[in-house]
Amino acid sequence: MKRSVVSLTCIVVALAARVAFAQEPTALFASPWPLAPKPQLATPTILTFGEPSPGGALAPWMASVPLRLSLQAPIFPMAGGYPNCATREDASGNSFNGWPVQRYALLALTPNLTLHGFTSAGCPIDGAIGGGVTYTVPLEKSWWLVMGGGVYGVPAHYPMPARRSADLRIDVMKKIDDARSVSVGLGRRGISLGGSW
């Protein structure tokens, strides 16, 4: 008898607990004030040189293109020399049709000063991470001066040593439209031409 009462009590408590967890939170746990759906912080800036040109602002991802290209170019991919890399690329989501998945994130500190973070997946022997900072100055309509610096590296994997690159550069960028740009710049490795199409 005692055993069946304990079993019945446990079953009732388990059923009551499931019902309690499935209910909406009560007013006791709700926020006492309304929450903004998408809170945004306005960042006043003292580093800008006037308003952006009538051509519109230069997107931060577009400003980072010359820096990312100069950091990623010296690190040659080695995955082709390792046959077991094929199992760690497309099947695991690290690449798409043989091209490494590249991820990018940014944090705009001011309208012109931005921190960038980027990674490249693919085979683990070529998996890399990097970061940088860019500062943009509007020159004329759709022309921008972009200054930036950053680092990019691949960790050591036996038998390969760690590979890394760093660069400081200054570029003149022409914004063609919201998705395309052309740039000419000077970095630690010399003059370069680049862009996004």
Q: Give the mean pLDDT of the chain.
A: 77
Residue 28 domain flag: no
Residue 29 domain flag: no
Residue 19 domain flag: no
Token reading at 90? 């497309």
User: Domain total for the chain?
Assistant: 1
Residue 134 domain flag: yes
Residue 174 domain flag: yes
Question: For 104-139, how does the pLDDT look when each residue is reduced to its tens digit (9 = 90+)?
Answer: 999 999 989 999 999 988 888 888 999 999 999 999
Check pLDDT > 80 for residue 150. yes
Residue indicated by tokens 């691949």: 154
3-state secondary structure of 66: helix
Residue 165 confidence (pLDDT): 94
How many CA atoms lie less than 13 Å away from 158 in the CB half-sphere? 0
Cβ count near 95 (within 10 Å) = 22
Residue 43 domain flag: no
Q: What is the largest CA-CA distance in the chain?
A: 89
Residue 113 confidence (pLDDT): 94
Check pLDDT > 70 for residue 66. yes
**Is pLDDT larger for residue 60 or for residue 159?**
60
**Contacting residues for 62 by C-beta, under 8 A, at least 6 apart:** 173, 175, 181, 196
117 burial (CB, 10 Å; 0-12 / 13-18 / 19+) is middle
Question: For 162-174, how does the pLDDT look when each residue is reduced to its tens digit (9 = 90+)?
Answer: 999 999 999 999 9
Handedness of CA 45, 49, 53, 56 (dihedral sign): negative
Residue 3 domain flag: no
- pTM higher than 0.75: no
Confidence class for position 147, pLDDT limits 50, 70, 90: very high
How many CA atoms lie less than 13 Å away from 66 in the CB half-sphere? 33
Residue 173 confidence (pLDDT): 95
